[in-house]
Amino acid sequence: MTHDYKRNGTTTLFAAISLLTGQLIGTCLPRHRHEEFLKHKHPRVKQWLKRHPRFHLHFIPTSSSWLNLIERWFREITDKRIRRGVFRSVKELITAIESYIAAHNRDPKTFKWTARAETILAKVRRARAVVDKLQSA
């Protein structure tokens, strides 16, 4: 922080990514509590999910965020838009976030795994061998 830094407020971005299309859904809310997240569990949302069985909510443990594609996107928006920006109000920040999401959704990209399963499993076997060796020592 510098001597002339002034914080103009914050917002919380709740976001999801479609694995099929790469499109983003994002909503900025003023607070970051469980109540804001639970708004997505509203009966109308549950009804919609029931009528559209191909859609599923998946909750990934915090410790496995490396699996979470939306985490990669949060890093991207932080590096490419938020950290580089100057926002004189929360409204300006939210406008920038919404514009970034809209720009992303004009040409979304899906994530494609490039590692072969056997390569990943070989790494797991090597790691397990090291751990076993350390535990037996």
pLDDT at 61: 63
Q: Write out pLDDT tens, residues 115-130.
A: 888 888 899 899 999 9
What confidence tens digit (pLDDT) does each residue in 7-49 have? 777 888 888 888 789 899 888 988 877 676 666 667 777 787 7
Query: Is the Cβ–Cβ distance between 24 and 104 less than 8 Å?
Result: yes
Model pTM? 0.64
Burial class, 122, CB count within 10 angstroms (exposed 0-12 / middle 13-18 / buried 19+): exposed
What phi and psi, each to the nearest 5 degrees, are found at residue 29? -130, 155
Residue owning tokens 């509203």:
42
